Chain A
């Protein structure tokens, strides 16, 4: 009796899990469907297969500008946040010093702050300083929100380091920098790459901060936002979204792969819960 009830609840949970996954994937499945759909209206029923919406993308100058801007912003953000994040993660996992917890808590704060607050705050500061908005101001904001993610990823990489390796390197006559370059960096390198990829992905998709802080040079999400108002542009926006989705998935799989390699290098088991989230 109890066993059959247990089996029943297990099956009910499985069904629920599958339905939930359908809910999660519903919008994502539609994206490629409409991208290849031969109709100017984004709605069912589907008309036929076409790749013309992708061709439109190749000839849209404004889009190319937005892609270029987004690349500049995302690459700079990834590099800067990973450098800041690596220093902070190393400091918090290796050293003990007064005030560590509150300072770390403050650096991690953007994780829970609504993005509009971050955006508005930076905007007010820039207005007061009389700085004009540009891609640099977007980068400033993105580094702020990406650094906590970088710290989260790199903390686990640094925590797994065996301090005796470091001591051995000192005993063998390496300097601090030499130890860092030849012992520590190679060991945490996969974590660094994973952090770079995640920060790049977050920055590439970030809209709210970019919307407030962008000047005349728009980033890709801001461009997409402006296109959503024009019904005729929608199918090509779907095509663009499909490309972005494919790109993000590839980047994420790469990031995950590097993270696991880093864990394996340090002889840890890649835990299911760790990683980029």
Chain B
């Protein structure tokens, strides 16, 4: 028996090794390189490899980086809350009210997200702009007299655009969690006298919590790293930390500082994610 298990283990490891090796070379090694890089210094054209904490000191103490970091976190957290709150009812609707065509609904939800990401963000600019679709429509209806200006080139626009961009990533995990809920539990709650509202808060929501937590993390982590949306619809008040990372690696030509900024933001986001994960575990039981 021990021999067959060993053989099985060997076969499994052999099969897994190409992908594992690839991840090691193309992910672990580069990430280690970025960490090393962040302790080096850029000297005009060449790199000084004496280890130093200067980049981190600059990244954590200069007001501009602090402002960008805080703004990124604020925007990403807002995006996450908005996206998950908007997504929950739709996931609930598909899981509990759609009887026949659940797969079709899910398919329809994913279709818009296979359009070019760049063009989707750009089209929000067209919708929200001064002469944009929304302003034109509202003026024609007579709801407003002059174009609204607070909807484009600021943090609001970034939040709205990102809430749109990440919608399916929030809907699907919540939907999966809702589908797993044993419907007889709800009947039991009803039989025991719980009204619809109490049923929702005492049975449905706690059981859907793993999905909600998953959705939260899936949206929160990547949005911190987006630099297209802030660039296209954010204006100067909507720029985020990823824009600065991109500038450091590009025009500013200070890759070590960019690396320190990238590592710092990853550490911060990872800690917040862990906090959310453990809070969710405590509140809603097991998170997968």
Which residues of A does B touch, CB under 8 Å?
2, 5-6, 9-10, 13-14, 16-17, 20-21, 23-28, 30-31, 34, 42-45, 83-85, 87-88, 90-92, 94-98, 100, 103-104, 106-107, 109-110, 112-118, 120-125, 127-128, 140-141, 143-144, 147, 151, 201, 205, 207-208, 212, 221, 224-225, 228, 237-238, 241, 244-245, 248-249, 252, 256, 270, 272-273, 276-277
Contacts and interface: CB of A to CB of B under 8 A. Distances in A.
B206 interface: no
Given A14-B93, A30-B127, A116 B225 contact: yes
A90 B28 CA distance: 23
Given A144-B27, A241-B116, A277-B172, A21 B255 contact: no
Given A87-B19, A103-B20, A208-B228, A31 B115 contact: yes
B118 A207 contact: yes
B167 interface: yes
A272 B242 CA distance: 36
B129 A97 contact: no
Given A30-B123, A43-B132, A122 B26 contact: yes
Interface size class of B (residues with CB under 8 A): 35 or more
Contacts of B259: 120, 124
B23 A109 contact: yes
Given A16-B93, A26-B127, A117-B266, A151 B19 contact: yes
6 contacts: A17-B90, A30-B123, A84-B19, A88-B20, A100-B16, A118-B27
A128 B118 contact: no
Contacts of B29: 125
B238 interface: no
Nearest to A277: B172
B9 interface: yes
Interface in B87-116: 89-90, 92-94, 97, 102-103, 106-112, 114-116
Interface of B: 5, 8-16, 18-20, 22-23, 26-31, 33-34, 37, 86, 89-90, 92-94, 97, 102-103, 106-112, 114-120, 122-124, 126-127, 129, 131-133, 136-137, 164, 167-168, 172, 175-176, 179, 195-196, 217-218, 221-222, 224-228, 232, 242, 245-246, 249, 255, 258-259, 262, 266, 269
B116 A244 contact: yes
A44 B136 contact: yes
B16 A103 contact: yes
A28 B115 contact: yes
A120 B34 contact: yes
A201 B16 CA distance: 25
Which 9 pairs across A and B sit closest by C-beta, in order of nearness?
A114-B225, A95-B12, A121-B30, A27-B123, A97-B9, A91-B15, A91-B16, A88-B19, A248-B114
Contacts of B136: 43-45
Contact of A117 (B37, B137, B225): B225
A136 to B, nearest CB: 12
